[in-house]
Amino acid sequence: MASLAPEERVILVGHSMGGYWISAAMESFPEKVSVAVFCTALMPSPELSYTTLSAEVNRILDSDMDIVFTYGNGPNKQTTWFLFGPDFMCSKLYQLSPPEDLTLALLLARPLPVYNDEAMWNEAMTLTKDKYGSVHRVFVLCDRDNAIQEDFQRWMIENNPSDDMKLISGSDHMPMFSKPKELYFCLQEIVEKYP
């Protein structure tokens, strides 16, 4: 983003955990962002820290199901990696997506790192009203998401109101697979409203 020409602006789209990354970009380069789109994504704010959101996500997940946790620093240390298992992916992420997309996701699944340093995360995700708060935000709500459930999505919007909210009805956590046309039209509307 630092290499963009001074007059250039971008539209950021974050999905799931990607909400953290676009928030960091909004804070660092607010003048470069015409709108940030949180697609069933975690949406921090100056008042909703990484720690708060992570604790809420852990609270609402009813179980770890078949998620595999790796303890690379020893069995009595914190988790270093995790891998979504097939049952979790099928019932929480892709339950309404075409079976071929679930099959491909299962084949391509890789362990994800766990960053346990909450102080580092909270520092990296320190968001201000002057920078982060100056960027237009749109939340795309997916009402059949079993990972970031509708109630939690609405809770984030209530506690961190966005400029606009779009609903993709009947979408699981992966609207790009379960409702691709609806996601396309939703993004097109956002592009036209926030050029």
- 7: which 2 tokens? 């007059």
Q: Which member of 23, 45, 97, 145 is catalytic?
A: 145
b/e map 107-138, b = 16+ CB within 10 Å: eeeeeeeeeeeeeebeeebebeeebbeebbbb
Burial status of residue 6 (CB atoms within 10 A of its CB: 0-12, 13-18, 19 or more): exposed
List the catalytic residue out of 16, 34, 49, 91: 16
Q: Taking the mean position of all CA atoms in its chain, how far away is CA 151?
A: 15
Residue 15 is among the residues annotated as catalytic for this protein: no
Neighbour count for residue 172 (Cβ, 10 Å):
24
Q: Which entry of 23, 97, 162, 173 is annotated as an active-site residue? A: 173
| CA 38 to centroid of chain Cα atoms | 6
* SS3 at position 87: helix
Q: Which residues are catalytic?
A: 16, 145, 173
